[in-house]
Amino acid sequence: MKSGFKHIIFKISLLAVVFLFVQCAPEIKPSRKGFVPKPCMDCHTETQSEFSKQYVHDPMSKRDCEACHLRHGRLAVKSFVEREERKLCFICHTKMASDVEGMTSVHTVLKQGKCLPCHNAHASDNKALQKKVGNEQCFMCHDKAPFERTKRHKPLDDGCIACHAAHGSQYNGNLIKAEVDLCRSCHKYEEDGFRNAHKKYPVEKGNCSGCHTSHSSSNDRLLRESVHEPLISGQCNSCHKPDTDPEPFAVIAPDGKLCYTCHEKEEKKYKTAYVHPLTNEGKCLSCHSPHASDYPRVTIRDKNDLCTDCHMEKPNIKVSNLHAPIKKDGCTACHNPHASENKFYLKAAEKKICFSCHPKVEEELIKAAYSHKPFLDIECSKCHDSHGSNNAAMVRMPLTDLCYECHKDAAEKYFKTYVHKPVSDRQCSACHASHASEYDKLLKNSEADLCMKCHESMYLEMEEEGTHPLFKDKKCGTCHDPHASDNVASTIMPANKLCFTCHEAVMAGITKSAVKHLPVEEGKCSECHSPHGTKLKYQLLNRPNELCLSCHERIITTTARKGHIYMENGDCLSCHSSHYSDMKHLLKGADPAICVQCHSTDTERLLKVHRESINKIGRCTSCHEPHVTERQGLLREIMHEPFTRGDCEACHV
């Protein structure tokens, strides 16, 4: 009984120990499946050098590439978390994002959503991760010339950021203060020197940059490059009321009238047939600054920009092929900006102005034998856009579309089975001159030489004997349509009719003959003849025998080289006509008459073999094969036994 109880106690104790062991044993986690991320720098070793620079971007220093980049990338983007640079940077630079949101004037590159034109993304030796130091950073985009004139504004020595905020501000031009307040930082408006220099006018109430440049100038007073004469001479009161007036900046006369008090000659000159509306209304200040400007003639904008402020849609000068005068001198190269006796305020009559730059074209008009109608009428703008276009030679539309605009029937006329390559490529100008020519139809060269420009190799292969006379004389248009045709090789009519327009005698013979060569009957002259020429007589495609046998191959019934076909002097045409005949098989004569032409009638050998004169024999071909055989004498394969033995008397008396 005792031993049984002890046994139970032992089992319970053992179970308790096992339970405690299981509970206290360390947890064994299953191994995690998948890829272990590999550090970016293991592959992008070129970025290692960035860590040696003085300033390292915070995510870069922490090797937290995925703060900006997606590990696996994104199609068509540099694997950025955000597609737009600015938005990407603003994820961390939240204060900057907030500031920019409230700015009236934002730096152009930032406005375009870009940060990297100025900053390095990973590291730099310059503060704020800038790519360059000081003004050089700005000159990466801004032209340096306006900052390097003779007289430099002193703050330039302290850098652009002395006056401008790098990202943007509440003030025009990204200034750090309102313009007048910014200038006051250095210039004391109350001092006598300042007041006397400005003729005691309260300029602090105006706009300093209306007269002065803020960067550098060619004159010692930092005035802009183009200055109104009264300003240079300090005669402010020639336009404005006296400095003592309650409104000293008020003008002494309205806009146009005020200007004409000095510009009397111009006022008279502007009384012409065509006057610019702004000139007519006396709105001089719509185009000119009353004080100073960086543009010629004190205009408020440069060249074309001044005109396109109003003429926004037409003309379109944002084209790939801009008219050279516009590119060089602007709209005023051709137009008078104020008034003119010519339509569109042109500086010369519409029919003459183009020739002022294009004298050779005018000479072409005078001397050429044939002129294009619009060119003859000097209507240049019918084909060309006078300002520019996206097409070569400034034509208003793609060249062939332009040609078809007048030649409307041509588009339909050339819709044929066979089209000349220049036409299918829509290249009318490959053959035709656009203005004038010495040749009919405005061809660039004579018809002969024009075709040879592309097809010269064909002509060079020809020899005197086998050349078609028309091809020899380069009269291609006699047979071919230069544009398009429904006939093979763009011929002007089907071949069976075309050849007979010249070869009338052949046609007459065919018409009245009983037997016709099959290619002739089907109008397939080119089965035997080359339309241009070969090195053989009659423009044959091959020597007569080879040419004939290319169709009549059944004539050759043996490998023997005996017979008429293999004669040295003679060929198929010795017996047969090539086109037509009144005889069967196109023979030139009846049997035996045709044979007798070559075989003498009464030679001793012939008399012995035939036992009588050939003239008394009915048909030679009764016994002889006319083309080729293995037997001597061209005898036929199957013969009468007595004839084989030469025993004529067995049957004949």
User: Do 77 and 103 belong to one domain?
Assistant: yes
- The answer to whether 334 and 346 are in contact (CB under 8 A) is yes
DSSP H or E run through 293: strand 292-293
> Which of 277, 300, 323 represents a domain boundary (last residue)?
300
Model pLDDT, residue 303: 84
Based on the fold, state whether residues 141 and 198 are members of the same structural domain. Answer: no
Does 531 reside within a domain?
no
Residues 268 and 241 in one domain: yes
174 CB-contact burial (10 Å; exposed 0-12 / middle 13-18 / buried 19+) = buried
pLDDT at residue number 222: 94
On average, the pLDDT of the chain sits at 87
pLDDT at residue 192, rounded to an integer: 93
pLDDT at 273 > cutoff 90 = yes
Residue 120, CA distances (Å) to 96, 114, 130, 370, 548 in order: 17, 12, 6, 65, 83
What's the pTM? Answer: 0.67
What is the domain extent for residue 281?
190-300
Query: pLDDT tens digits, residue range 195-215?
Result: 999 999 999 888 899 999 999
HSE toward the beta carbon, residue 508, CA cutoff 13 A:
4
Q: Are residues 62 and 160 in the same domain?
A: yes
Q: Are 124 and 210 within one domain?
A: no
User: What's the pLDDT tens digit per position in 51-91?
Assistant: 999 999 999 999 999 898 888 776 545 667 677 889 999 99
Residue 135 domain flag: yes
Residue 570 sits at the vertex; the CA angle it makes with 611 and 644, to the nearest 5 degrees, is 30
pLDDT category at 619 given cuts 50, 70, 90 is: confident
pLDDT for the residue 485: 93
Measured in whole angstroms, the distance separating CA 18 from the mean position of its chain's CA atoms is 88
DSSP letter string, 145-196:
GGGSSSEE-GGGGG-GGGTB-SSEESSGGGBSS-HHHHHHTT--TTSHHHHH
Task: Examine the domain organization and report whether 114 and 212 are in the same domain.
Answer: no
Is 4 domain-assigned? no
Q: Are residues 80 and 150 in the same domain?
A: yes
* Residue 552, pLDDT above cutoff 80: yes
Cβ neighbours for 252, distance < 8 A, ≥ 6 positions apart: 239, 240, 241, 258
Closest Cα to residue 239, out of 287, 277, 201? 201
Q: Are residues 149 and 217 located together in one domain of the fold?
A: no
On whether both 62 and 166 belong to a single domain, the answer is yes
Pair 168, 194 in one domain: no
Choose the most confident range, by mean pLDDT, from 407-411, 490-494, 641-645: 490-494
**Collapsed DSSP state (helix, strand, coil) of residue 516:** strand
Position 371 in a domain: no
Confidence of residue 139 (pLDDT cuts 50, 70, 90): very high
How many domains are contained in the chain? 2
End residue of a domain, out of 249, 272, 300: 300
* One domain for residues 171 and 204: no
Assess if residue 501 is contained within a domain: no
Please determine, for residue 2, whether its predicted confidence score (pLDDT) is greater than 60.
Answer: no
**Confidence at residue 23, expressed as pLDDT on a 0 to 100 scale:** 57
Q: Please tell me whether residues 197 and 170 are part of one structural domain.
A: no
- Asked if the structure places residue 100 within a domain, the reply is yes
In a domain, 625, yes or no: no
Of the residues 275, 300, 325, which one is the last residue of a structural domain? Answer: 300
Whether 613 is in a domain gets the answer: no
